[in-house]
Amino acid sequence: MKSVLITGAYGQLGEACVKNLKLNFNLLISGRTAPENGIQLDITDGNSVSRVLVEIDPDVILNLAAMTNVDGCENDPEMARAINVDGVKNLCDGFDGHFIQLSTDYVFDGTGGPYSENDKTNPISVYGKTKLEADEWLSAQHEKTTILRANVLYGYTRRTEASFVKWVVDSLSNDQQIKVVNDQWNNPTWTESLASVIGILIKNEALGLYHYGDKDLLNRYEFAQIIAKVFDLNDSLIMPVSTAELNQPAPRPLKSGLKSENIESALGIVPKSVETCLQEIRKQLSL
C-alpha cells in the first residue's frame, strides 16, 4: 500500500482527501498546526521538512499546503511566495517520488474561460503568480510530478470554516442578507469530487498537467441560488453585486472555469452537477 504524505491536511480539501483515500493508501497527515496524532509540518522551514521526510519516507506527497487567501497574498507577497513557491521547493528537496501539486484557475487572467491545459497562462494577482511559478518549477525540476488545477472548491462539514456553501447556508438560515458577485464565472467543485480524482491520479501515477472542475459553469450568484434551493432557504436574501463594487485588494479572473475533457478521457472521470453534490452534502449533514 502506497504511503501518502498530505500537507495542509486540516483544511476542507484535506479533510475530504483523508475521508476518501484512507481505505486505499497509508496516509501521513500533516499541517502547520496539528493535533497530537498528526505530523506538525511547516513547509516554509526547509530543515523541518527534510527531517520529517527522512523520518516518514513517503511514496507520494500530496501538497495541499498553500496561502490561498487571495487578498492576503496581494498584501503580503513575500509570505505568499515563501509558502506557495519556496514551500514546494522544500518538499521536493531530496524527494524523488510522486509529487502531486494542487494548483488553481487563478493562473489565468479570466478573459477567455473556461480554460484547457493548453491555454496560455497570464495571472493577474500575486496568488496566481506564485501558484504558476510553482507549477513551472515543478514541471522543469521534478520528474514525477502531477499538477492538478481546480477552482472554487466547496464543502460543508461541522468543522469547515472557509467554505462558500457554509457561509451561504449559515447566513440564510439566520435570515441574514448576503451580497454575492454575479460576474465571476467558474465551475464550482465539491471537495469530495476532487478527492476522488486525486485518488485516481495516485492509483494510476498519472503524471503531467490536468484540469478538473465539476459539471456546471456558473457565476457565484447562480451558485448561491442553487445552494438556497437545495437547502430550502430564502433566496431573496441573496443580493447580486459586481466584483468592482467589492473593491478588493487583489484583482479576480472573471470569466474563468476549467475544462475537464482531458482528465475525463484519460482516466474515465465523470463530473457531477452542482445540485447533485449539494444534495449529497445535505444528506450527509442529516446523518
Distance CA 76, CA 225 (A): 33
Distance CA 215, CA 148 (A): 16
> DSSP for 184-234?
-EE--EEHHHHHHHHHHHHHHT--EEEE---S--EEHHHHHHHHHHHTT--
The contacts of residue 118 (CB under 8 Å, 6+ apart) are: none
Instruction: Look at residue 128 and tell me whether its pLDDT is greater than 80.
Output: yes
Instruction: Look at residue 250 and tell me whether its pLDDT is greater than 90.
Output: yes
Q: Report the CATH number of the 3-156+188-215+257-271 domain.
A: 3.40.50.720
pTM: 0.95
- DSSP secondary structure letter of residue 115: B
CA-based nearest residue to 52, from 99, 7, 11, 16: 7
Q: Determine the average pLDDT of the residues in 236-243.
A: 97
Q: pLDDT band for 38, please (50, 70, 90 cuts).
A: confident
Q: Determine the average pLDDT of the residues in 256-262.
A: 97
Residue type, 225: Q
Q: pLDDT band for 210, please (50, 70, 90 cuts).
A: very high
- DSSP secondary structure letter of residue 76: -
Distance CA 147, CA 165 (A): 26
Q: Taking all residues of the chain, what is their mean pLDDT, rounded to a whole number?
A: 95
Q: pLDDT band for 139, please (50, 70, 90 cuts).
A: very high
The contacts of residue 53 (CB under 8 Å, 6+ apart) are: 5, 91, 94, 95
List the Cα angle 192/196/197 in 5-degree steps: 120
Q: What is the CB neighbour count within 10 angstroms for residue 51?
A: 12
The residue assigned the cell 478538473 is 212
Structural domain boundaries of the chain? Answer: 3-156+188-215+257-271
The residue assigned the cell 479572473 is 253
Q: Determine the average pLDDT of the residues in 112-139.
A: 98
